[in-house]
């Protein structure tokens, strides 16, 4: 018998076993953009692709968190396990949204079949979508049957996050001009399912008609998924069973028609492009004189340098190994 202690079980193995503390640690690692986080994703990635990833987006206050809370209850009632990543860019400033989400979802705290995590939103542009994508990898690898990503649909980062979902749910509310907002944000094009939440309010039918009118402008092939519109009252749970049935139906449709495979390919390309682009930028920056990158940005801001010429200039310098400031 050896008296040397057993080596600690690798984090990846603990994640694969579904250990909640390992999941939490793993998500922190991928959030910190550390080398350890990257290694972890490398180890886990081949073990993913089983979970259904559902993106829930929409303007602040649309009732997304309330919907997610109800969806969790409905999904758990049917048996599957759930992982949730809640992303709210406003939280670092107000501190309110994330806390509210936490409180609401504490109802599930006793259920080992539910794992909920709020994402910090600090970091560079695109960092949020990358970290969120990696968090879904962790939850998928950990064996969560359904992974829900809640995000405020306001910017490019959020659109990117929605794109990583198998099923994207866009939440709108009557009487708020949301339909116009959604069109502006380009959210309309990425919706697989529309939710008209707060259907207890006046104007729900008008909003449904507006979305319908919008959809009728698009052409759908005979085997193409046409986004259904589901009316819900998240506070009472009304329509939640129909919403979950619609989400499941969308996923089944994607599997049957090959649309899911195509989406996975698009997603793969997107992630590859993003990582290659980031490395290229880092490489270029590394070949410039100290401070030259920031100085170039300042010159663009001051309108002394147009962005096209600036890009060409830094690329030329990096490729030729020369720098004006050096």
Strands (E), the chain: 52-58, 82-87, 114-119, 146-152, 167-172, 193-196, 229-231
Pick 67 or 208: Cβ nearer Mg ion:
67
Interacting partner of 139 out of ligand GDP, Mg ion, none (Cβ under 5 to 8 A depending on kind): none
Minimum CB–partner distance for residue 94 and Mg ion (Å)? 12
Instruction: Supply the DSSP symbol for 60.
Output: T
The residues, any chain, with a CB within 8 Å of residue 260's CB and separated by 6 or more, are 166, 251, 254
66 binds, among ligand GDP, Mg ion, none (CB under 5 to 8 A by kind): ligand GDP
Q: Which C-beta is closer to ligand GDP: that of 105 or that of 141?
A: 105
Could you tell me how far CA 238 lies from the centroid of its own chain?
26
Distance CA 37, CA 148 (A): 21
Q: How far apart are CA 297 and CA 256, in angstroms?
A: 48
Q: Which is nearer to ligand GDP, 167 or 234 (CB)?
A: 234
Residue 270 binds which of ligand GDP, Mg ion, none (CB < 5-8 A, kind-dependent): none
Comparing CB distances to ligand GDP, the nearer of 27 and 196 is 196
Closest distance of CB 72 from ligand GDP, Å: 13
Only one of the segments 59-67, 154-162, 265-273, 287-295 lies at the binding site for Mg ion (rule: CB under 5 A); that segment is 59-67
Residue 57 sits in the site that holds Mg ion (CB under 5 A): no
> Closer CB to Mg ion, residue 197 or residue 296?
197
Going 60 to 52 to 223 to 242, the CA torsion angle's sign is negative
CB 47 within 8 A of CB 41: no
Q: Which residues sit at the interface with Mg ion, rule CB under 5 A?
A: 64-65
């Amino acid at each position: 018998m050896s008296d040397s202690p057993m080596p600690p079980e690798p984090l990846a193995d603990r994640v694969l076993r579904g250990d909640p503390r390992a999941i939490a640690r793993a998500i922190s690692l991928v959030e910190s953009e550390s080398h350890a986080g990257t290694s972890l994703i490398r180890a886990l990635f081949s073990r993913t692709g089983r979970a259904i990833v559902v993106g829930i987006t929409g303007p602040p206050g649309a009732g997304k968190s309330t919907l997610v809370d109800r969806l969790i209850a409905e999904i758990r009632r049917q048996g599957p396990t759930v992982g949730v990543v809640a992303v709210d860019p406003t939280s670092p400033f107000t501190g309110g949204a994330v806390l509210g989400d936490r409180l609401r979802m504490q109802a599930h705290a006793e259920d080992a079949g539910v794992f909920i995590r709020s994402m910090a939103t600090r970091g560079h542009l695109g960092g949020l979508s990358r970290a969120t994508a990696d968090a879904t990898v962790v939850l998928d690898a950990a064996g969560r049957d359904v992974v829900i990503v809640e995000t405020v649909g306001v910017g490019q980062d959020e659109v990117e996050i929605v794109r990583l979902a198998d099923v994207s749910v866009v939440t709108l509310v009557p009487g708020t001009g949301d339909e116009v907002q959604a069109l502006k944000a380009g959210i309309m094009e990425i919706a697989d399912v529309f939710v008209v939440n707060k259907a207890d309010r006046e104007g729900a039918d008008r909003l449904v008609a507006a979305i319908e009118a919008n959809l009728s402008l698009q052409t759908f092939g005979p085997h193409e998924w046409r986004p259904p519109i589901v009316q819900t009252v998240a506070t009472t749970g009304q329509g939640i069973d129909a919403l979950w049935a619609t989400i499941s139906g969308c996923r089944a449709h994607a599997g049957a028609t090959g649309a899911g495979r195509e989406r996975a390919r698009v997603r793969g390309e997107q992630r590859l492009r993003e990582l290659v682009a980031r490395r290229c930028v880092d490489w270029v920056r590394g070949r410039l004189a100290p401070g030259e990158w920031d100085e170039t940005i300042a010159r663009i801001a001051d309108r002394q340098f147009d962005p096209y010429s600036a890009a060409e200039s830094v690329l030329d310098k990096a490729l030729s190994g020369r720098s004006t400031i050096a």
